[in-house]
Structure 1
């Protein structure tokens, strides 16, 4: 039995080695000092292509249901905040200025938002209207999602899932299974809509988002306000947004600890 396990493991390791793993740091560190190296089994290009396909599908579904950008005032407001934040992204990675950013609003009472690779962002209207978010608070949410895109957290999470599936496919092949399970577009949707990022990724998105909003002239203290609002909205358990964005006292403490770092950027932006 041990010999069989070792054989299966060696085949899995060989497949992963052939696929290739790149260790990268996807962004500059900024004043907040994010510099973690990331292991990527999938290329940025294939993840961006699969994410674009998945995002287009989500837009089509929302449009068909009459729920895409139906509130023109809210949509304009969300896009205005997002554009101010996107203008600051080259601080973390210069190539982001050339991304085909997309920001849309889905008309739904859910308290949620998500980002896909390459700058594909969706904000759910309920997040803004039900929590009565100010522009500063909205910037905290959108900045968080932009940060996920900058750090390529979708690519990192999909790479982890891909590596696992490649290993499992060796076992599956013994039972006559094929590799149709390796559907990157489906994986992109799963990561964006339901699969939680790691606590480390969430912390990075919080902190980079904090710097983005400060540089864009939004008060970083609003980040603490919005997380408190979201926790309160769930009566202690947290709304749907928090099912894929874990929160708690530690998260809020981390934000508060980094606010002094970015406050000078906010003050400078306000003077400018």
Structure 2
């Protein structure tokens, strides 16, 4: 199976003109320097536009049900915290200063939050209210999700998915403009945006999210209390967020080891 997967990626690489080795973020204090491989035909702007359409559809559906919270207490809290985090994002990825960031809160019992490509953020009220999250814990969740967007983990997953699908279906379906190509694109987007992130991606988001929240003036120790709350909540029916962000003692240990690295940033931000 592994051999077939590698062959598929190599085949797609030839058809698409190769991959680009990039490091989407820089200047961090936590040591995230892994090279990422993206197909050159799948640009950052294209992925951001694709996700923006999906994001607007989600907002429209929530609005039609009266579930889009625009002015409530949760919406005001989330927007204020997001503003502080977003202001620090360019220190890890300079071009994120030009992103069209959006922050929305949806009234739902779901314990969930996400930040898609291009800075499209959604937080569900269940996550805040049921777990009684502090501002610092909300910042830990949002920082983690924003880190996924800064690292373009969605585009990275889409590049892999395109490679597999292209090798299976041939270059014509993907490079053409017909209905088949559009259907393939939908399949890839769904694949890349709904499956759990890899362990490496999760670790990167943990570390960069920790730094981002510290730079924004939120106590990085809140990441530990957040995961403890999420772990406790997952003892019954696992929350939606836990299905793609499973907690583990090794994860918490990695966060604890990184906290001393970002504590000076937090102290500086408080001043």
Structure-1-length-normalised TM-score: 0.88
Q: For residue 178 of structure 1, report the CA deviation from its aligned partner.
A: 4.2
Contact 1:224/1:252 (<8 A) preserved: yes
Flag the structure with larger Rg.
1
State the partner residue of 2:183: 181
Q: CA offsets per residue over residues 24-77 of structure 1, 9 Å max, x none?
A: 000004111111000112211211110111111111111111111156211011
Q: 1:134 to 1:239 in 2, by over 3 A?
A: same
Q: Which has the higher mean CA deviation after the structures are superposed, 12-21 or 74-83? A: 12-21
- Report matched runs for 1:44-55 at 5 Å: 44-55=44-55
Q: Which has the higher mean CA deviation after the structures are superposed, 214-223 or 9-18? A: 9-18
Aligned length: 259
Q: Distance in 2 between matches of 1:268 and 1:178?
A: 53
Contact 2:154/2:192 (<8 A) preserved: yes
State the partner residue of 1:3: none
Structure 1, unpaired ranges of 5+: 1-5
State the partner residue of 2:176: none
Structure-2-length-normalised TM-score: 0.89
Q: CA offsets per residue over residues 141-194 of structure 1, 9 Å max, x none?
A: 000011011000110111111111111213998xxx94443224x6445544x3
Q: Distance in 1 between matches of 2:263 and 2:82?
A: 20
SS at match of 1:123: strand
The match for 2:38 among 13, 37, 40 is 40
- Report matched runs for 1:62-73 at 5 Å: 62-69=62-69, 72-73=72-73
Contact 2:210/2:259 (<8 A) preserved: yes
Q: Distance in 2 between matches of 1:199 and 1:98?
A: 29
Q: For residue 115 of structure 1, report the CA deviation from its aligned partner.
A: 1.5
State the partner residue of 2:117: 117
How big is the alpha-carbon RMSD for the aligned residues of Structure 1 and Structure 2? 2.4
Q: 1:16 to 1:66 in 2, by over 3 A?
A: same
Q: 1:110 to 1:191 in 2, by over 3 A?
A: farther
Q: Distance in 2 between matches of 1:202 and 1:107?
A: 26
Contact 1:11/1:170 (<8 A) preserved: no
Q: For residue 16 of structure 1, report the CA deviation from its aligned partner.
A: 3.1
SS at match of 1:181: helix
Q: Distance in 1 between matches of 2:188 and 2:244?
A: 15
Contact 1:231/1:237 (<8 A) preserved: no
Structure 2, unpaired ranges of 5+: 174-178
Q: CA offsets per residue over residues 206-259 of structure 1, 9 Å max, x none?
A: 100100111111000000000110110121674221101122101100100000
Q: For residue 78 of structure 1, report the CA deviation from its aligned partner.
A: 0.3
State the partner residue of 1:157: 157
Q: 1:75 to 1:30 in 2, by over 3 A?
A: same
State the partner residue of 2:81: 81
Q: Distance in 2 between matches of 1:216 and 1:39?
A: 30
Q: 1:154 to 1:223 in 2, by over 3 A?
A: same
Q: Distance in 2 between matches of 1:125 and 1:198?
A: 26
